A = this chain, B = another copy of it.
Amino acid sequence: MLPRQLFRLKRSMNETLDPQLESWVPSAQDPATPFPIQNLPYAVFSRTDGDAARRIGVGIGAEILDIRACADAGFFEGEALTAARACSGDTLNPLMALEPRYWRALRHRVSHLLSIAQKHLFSSLESQVFVRQKDVRLHLPVEIHNYTDFYSSIHHAMNVGKLVRPDNPLLPNYKHIPIGYHGRASSVHSGPMTIRRPFGQVKAADQEVPQFVPSRALDYEVEIGVFVGQGNELGRPVTIDRAGDHLFGFCLVNDWSARDIQTWEYQPLGPFLAKSFATTISPWIVTSEALEPFRAPFARSDEDPAPLPYLTSKENSERGVYSIQVETAIRSARMREENIDPYVVSKGSADSMYWTFAQLLTHHTSNGCNLVPGDLLASGTISGVERCSWGSLLEVTRRGQDPLELPSGERRGFLEDGDEVIMRGWCRREGARSIGFGECQGIVAPAVG
């Protein structure tokens, strides 16, 4: 390890990540909580009783710490206070727009406040600054101005490619350029979300003309999303060495897809209505800092071409690929009736990404395109080598040819009405405290025509 890398690692492995650190909040001491003091994810919430105003909070155990209430109580000063003041609205965009030192200052201070020795600070204030997660609704935490979806899992690209081009699954550009497309920002919502089965034009191979019918090939895609922090001006690319400073935090993404609509519409300009009817994200944003202990090496083999210089950081250590385990489960209406647990269809890991998030961000701006705070960049479906790690039904059932059997005995080529899709994300590593993303949830409702 180079000395500079070591320095970075030391600086980043700061006390907010110390695996021994405990919070005085009892529910945060539970080894099974996704939100120990090492995580501190952000959310936008409103109380279900009384005041329905949206507020910004930090998850700790089974509680939420209300940032504005803490600021009112005089808990912050300096850069942490500036950051806390940016949390007085109803979205995280103003905080995201600040420089990372403000994010760090707020995290550091919140971590300190919640650490075991500081309980006395709260005494009578506890009921004012905390709210239980079960007493709130979570909202879309960010005003998402632009949403870009990438295609950065090489195994997913290979699986999909095999279905359309068995002899030549991977296109020649794949290993050289991060493939992505603009998604629809307006239909991104945080779960739990009801997904209305979309109508669309579909044409079977044996039909002369298309029909306008409800999709019969509704699918999910499990992805990781990153929210852009500071933006960049039009015409001013972000270099790969600075890209990490623009990555605010991460969430789970379900990129719902109607495969039959996609097949008919996507040539020559790419997916459009097959995707734009809904995208669901998990409501918690896990910060880049919380993910530091879970950085992963490139998922490349020595035979793969080296990235072009604009995508190669000086230290070969840019931030952006993390060992985030994602699992996707399905629960049908019958399973809910019969009290059967959701059935885990796949478990994958974001460390199978062929491109890092830093590379995706730098590539996105390399033509001068301006990103703005709160833009969402998604990884594309996270799939690994094995079938049990494939992140969509398209792959798992080979376009429905090889249906899945649910514990209720029902079979699924694609999703049926009433099916619930639940995605979960975790980071686990020896020597670090495990942190979780919470859930990304959606349920399929029948088409309305």
Contacts and interface: CB of A to CB of B under 8 A. Distances in A.
Interface of A: 145-146, 151, 171, 173, 176-177, 179-187, 189, 196, 198-201, 203, 209-212, 234-235, 237, 258, 261, 264-274, 276-278, 305, 308-310, 363-364, 366-372, 375, 448
A78 to B, nearest CB: 32
A234 B268 contact: no
A212 B268 contact: no
B278 A368 contact: yes
How many copies the complex holds: the figure is: 2
Given A145-B186, A146-B186, A187-B370, A234 B278 contact: yes
Nearest to A147: B182
Contacts of A146: 184-186
A205 to B, nearest CB: 11
A367 B173 contact: no
Given A171-B267, A177-B201, 12 more contacts: A145-B145, A171-B268, A173-B264, A173-B267, A177-B210, A179-B272, A187-B234, A212-B310, A234-B278, A235-B277, A274-B367, A278-B368
Given A199-B367, A369-B186, A181 B212 contact: no
Given A212-B310, A234-B189, A309-B212, A366 B273 contact: yes
List the 9 closest pairs (A to B, CB-CB), nearest first. A270-B270, A198-B367, A182-B182, A181-B269, A196-B235, A277-B367, A276-B369, A273-B367, A269-B270
Nearest to A201: B177
A270 B150 CA distance: 12
A211 B173 CA distance: 12
A371 B278 CA distance: 12
Nearest to A306: B209
Nearest to A267: B171
Contacts of A201: 176-177, 308
